[in-house]
Structure 1
Amino acid sequence: MMEIEQILNKISLLSKDSIQLIKSKINLITLPKGSILFDTKRVETKVYFIKRGIARAYTLDKENEITFWFGQEGDFIISIRSYVENKPSYEIVELLEDCELYEINTNDLYNLYNFNLEFSNWGRKFTEKDLMRTEEIFIFHKSKSATERYQKLLKDNPSLINRVQLGYIASYLGISQVTLSRIRAEI
């Protein structure tokens, strides 16, 4: 489990006073496995930070779910399209475990950004981290073989293998479950 101070400072260091101010805007919530946080049919007005649990982001291609991101303790969950353009989310975000989440209203974040330079800089770093995460996902899927993608997942996030259904992992890797089983047997 990660406390909110750790998560916020992982994005960019904040002073103790700023931590206290942002904490006054954050609520700790508990949601059950299977909850849908974000949906493509609505504008998302909250940003979440994962204290405990795991989530996945996916999109629908015809009738198939394509998983492109997993988040776990210490990660943040944001619909960047809703955050920046106030438009419906591109993705659906589902909780894969019972989760404890810190939530903050997007308008509260924007008000903090307008309040002082420290929050404004933190917000810039927050958005930059999401951009880097997106870029890494894109490069990961375009430049590696299926076996290399699985090995990188094992190296970077070994706990995912035990916490996430293999079908979601196969989707994330861009392969079938049969191919994933073959790769796992070879390693």
Structure 2
Amino acid sequence: MFKMILNQIAFRKIDISEYAKLSSAGVWLLFLFVSISTSYTPETTLGYWALSSIFGALAVYVMYLFLAFWFKKRGLWDGNGNMFGLFITSSAIDILFIPALMIHPALAGLLFIISLTIGINAIRGALNIKISQILIAILIGLIVAVIVMIPLSIIMEIIAPVLGIELPPVPEM
């Protein structure tokens, strides 16, 4: 499969719609892996793990769509290239390796900042814009993702009992 993708991207001229399909499929797969790795804990059930992975992937995809919309609306990106896949890959590297390597949470924040910096520099190099514009777009994208997560969490609490998935108890205040 990787050889086919490499042939399509590197050695042949493909139209943008075909490239967009390959790009969005790769980004969705990455979102799913990130959600699966971050939502797993030994005491959770398989259904809860799957449900939170799906909703986590949806939240990250909303931020991805917002960044694409933001840069296209401002005329900074023409839709060609997969710089967002590169950005999300660089920022997801630490999320994938934190559970695998059992890194201390204090070091995880530093690793996240380093990989986020790599992603921001990748977008800056691809779009040739200021870092401040990218940071503003990411901060607004995070706000949009939080706003989208509120109804998604309410929907998750409604759907989980219907599917027979036991949710963890809510801590009392």
TM-score above 0.5: no
Which of the two has greater helix per residue?
2
TM-score calculated relative to the size of structure 1: 0.30
